[in-house]
Amino acid sequence: MALPKQSEDFPAWYQQVVKGAELAENSLARGSMVIRPYGYAIWEAIQAGVDRRIKATGHSNVYFPLLIPQSLLDKEADHVEGFAPQVAVVTHGGGSKLEEPLIIRPTSETIIWSTYAKWIQSYRDLPLLLNQWANVVRWEMRTRLFLRTSEFLWQEGHTAHETAPEAIEEARMILMDVYRATVEEDFAIPVLTGRKSAAERFPGAIETLAIEAMMRDGKALQAGTSHYLGQNFAKAYDVQFLGREGKQEYPFATSWGVSTRLVGGLIMAHGDDKGLRLPPKLAPFQVVIVPIYRDDAKATVMEAVYRIKQSLGDVRVKIDDREEHRPGYKFNEWELRGVPIRLEIGPRDLEAGQVMAYRRDTGEKAPIALESLSSAIAEMLTDIQKSLFQSALDFRTEHTFSPGSYDELVDLLSSVAGFVQGGWCGSPECETKVKDRTKATIRVLPLDPADREGNCIVCGSAATELATWAQSY
């Protein structure tokens, strides 16, 4: 199979990588996907890193139901307005029409906060720091595997706090210590962190924070969000606690999530014309061994191969011992599937006391002496993880611009050049003007804006902050 070049047809490239690497495929219900073993293994590695960090910051996991009475959704005005068009509704069950329709959760604020009403009575019950791993359904008009599917897997954290500053700090901590840390350390993808403009905010949120990553076509992908919800949900679901001063008070909320969309980001941030390039921390197989032999050498080679796998200890090693494919076929296939290191082991190598090692990220191939293999592989995996991050960072730097005029801003955004930064006065009119002209949106605003950022690149009046615009997924 010939993969289209990224530069020629990025969407076709993406789709064929997803299918060719056997990550996922479309399923029967519109917009839904089957995640295949290799794709799911990547998701499990992602989950492990996120879950570990969520727990390390004091949160516990819970599970709330998939089905939510429709009336619950209606209680928070912004929320219902934002989600109603995307909600799937169950109207029948047990062979008859339901008295009250049930919605399939598009997110769980409603069911969770209606339950928190029972759990939160006193300031001693706070903070309540819970998270769940779940599937949600949003009836999107246009879907793409991993990036936007009608059903997707995610984690959603829902916390309740005594004070606003505490909740705001929680939302920021999750953004920085869980999401940014996971994506930069595990995915080897640099992210911008910041606030969303009012237009891009989560329905029902007071502040939405996000991490944004650059894909190799210059578009931005929102890779994770963390919301400060204020007291909106507490009031909508009548959650009150008796405070330290003996008065009834409403708690302050956050919610935050990352989803299987991250797999799409992983593909598009690192992939090249040969396919996937997986960072070692998330790769289901960190090393693939392709044995090379004629019949007479088979026993010797395979015996060495198993011994070598043993010697690599904790490294996740796949031995591709399929008889039906020749080495060249396997090389291409594992490159498409993004395995960081390939070891070629044949009689010639064994005689020389070495193996051939191929690095997926750089395409370099060089021999490694058997006696130092274990440390060399460990070192190489570390180096690949670092070097993928560095090259993604370099790519982002090369594709980040600071235009001097509105016309230049429009040109850069229209040609999907990458991230485009400029002063913004904070007015929705200027934001809309750029969007109408170029389809690009403000992806992030600084977490802590400076006092002044020159003039608004759109209208020329005093800028209150530095905005980063981009085309986005």
Partner RNA sequence: CGGGACGUAGCGUAGUUUGGUAGCGCAUCCGGCUGGGGGCCGGAAGGUCGUCGGUUCAAAUCCGGCCGUCCCGACCA
Which residues sit at the interface with RNA, rule CB under 7 A? 1-3, 11-12, 15, 26, 30-31, 82-83, 85-86, 106-107, 136, 138, 140-145, 148, 200-203, 208, 210, 222, 225, 274, 292-295, 323-329, 331-333, 335-336, 344-349, 356, 358, 365, 439, 472
Cβ distance to RNA smaller for residue 170 or 207: 207
Instruction: Kindly state the smallest distance separating residue 274's Cβ from RNA, in Å.
Output: 7
Cβ distance to RNA smaller for residue 251 or 257: 257
Instruction: Kindly state the smallest distance separating residue 105's Cβ from RNA, in Å.
Output: 10
Q: How far apart are CA 170 and CA 164, in angstroms?
A: 10
Cβ distance to RNA smaller for residue 119 or 329: 329
Instruction: Kindly state the smallest distance separating residue 83's Cβ from RNA, in Å.
Output: 5
Q: How far apart are CA 130 and CA 257, in angstroms?
A: 12
Cβ distance to RNA smaller for residue 269 or 305: 305
Instruction: Kindly state the smallest distance separating residue 241's Cβ from RNA, in Å.
Output: 28
Instruction: Kindly state the smallest distance separating residue 323's Cβ from RNA, in Å.
Output: 5
Cβ distance to RNA smaller for residue 148 or 316: 148
Instruction: Kindly state the smallest distance separating residue 7's Cβ from RNA, in Å.
Output: 14
Cβ distance to RNA smaller for residue 8 or 141: 141
Instruction: Kindly state the smallest distance separating residue 454's Cβ from RNA, in Å.
Output: 28
Cβ distance to RNA smaller for residue 52 or 439: 439
Cβ distance to RNA smaller for residue 220 or 269: 220
Within 10 Å of residue 181's Cβ, how many Cβ atoms? Answer: 15
Contact 318, 309 (CB under 8 A): no
Instruction: Kindly state the smallest distance separating residue 211's Cβ from RNA, in Å.
Output: 11
Cβ distance to RNA smaller for residue 129 or 356: 356
Cβ distance to RNA smaller for residue 209 or 458: 209
SS3 letters for the chain? CCCCCCCCCHHHHHHHHHHHCCCEEECCCCCCEEECHHHHHHHHHHHHHHHHHHHHCCCEECCCCCEEEHHHHCCCHHHHHHHHHHCCEEEEECCEEEEEEEEECCCCHHHHHHHHHHHCCEHHHCCEEEEEEEEEECCCCCCECCCECCEEEEEEEEEEECCHHHHHHHHHHHHHHHHHHHHHHHCCCCEEEEECCHHHCCCCCCEEEEEEEECCCCCEEEEEEEEEEECHHHHHCCCCEECCCCCEECCEEEEEEEECHHHHHHHHHHCECCECCCCCCCCCCCEEEEECCCHHHHHHHHHHHHHHHHHCCCCCEEECCCCCCCHHHHHHHHHHCCCCEEEEECHHHHHHCEEEEEECCCCCEEEEEHHHHHHHHHHHHHHHHHHHHHHHHHHHHHCEECCCCHHHHHHHHHCCCCEEEEEECCCHHHHHHHHHHHCCEEEEECCCCCCCCCECCCCCCECCEEEEEECEC
Contacts (Cβ under 8 Å, ≥6 apart) of 186: 45, 46, 49, 279, 281, 282
Q: How far apart are CA 45 and CA 51, in angstroms?
A: 10
- Which has the closest alpha carbon to 335: 267, 383, 276, 263? 276
Instruction: Kindly state the smallest distance separating residue 397's Cβ from RNA, in Å.
Output: 25
Cβ distance to RNA smaller for residue 247 or 294: 294
Cβ distance to RNA smaller for residue 26 or 231: 26
Instruction: Kindly state the smallest distance separating residue 188's Cβ from RNA, in Å.
Output: 22
Instruction: Kindly state the smallest distance separating residue 179's Cβ from RNA, in Å.
Output: 12
Instruction: Kindly state the smallest distance separating residue 57's Cβ from RNA, in Å.
Output: 21
Contacts (Cβ under 8 Å, ≥6 apart) of 412: 401, 403, 418, 420
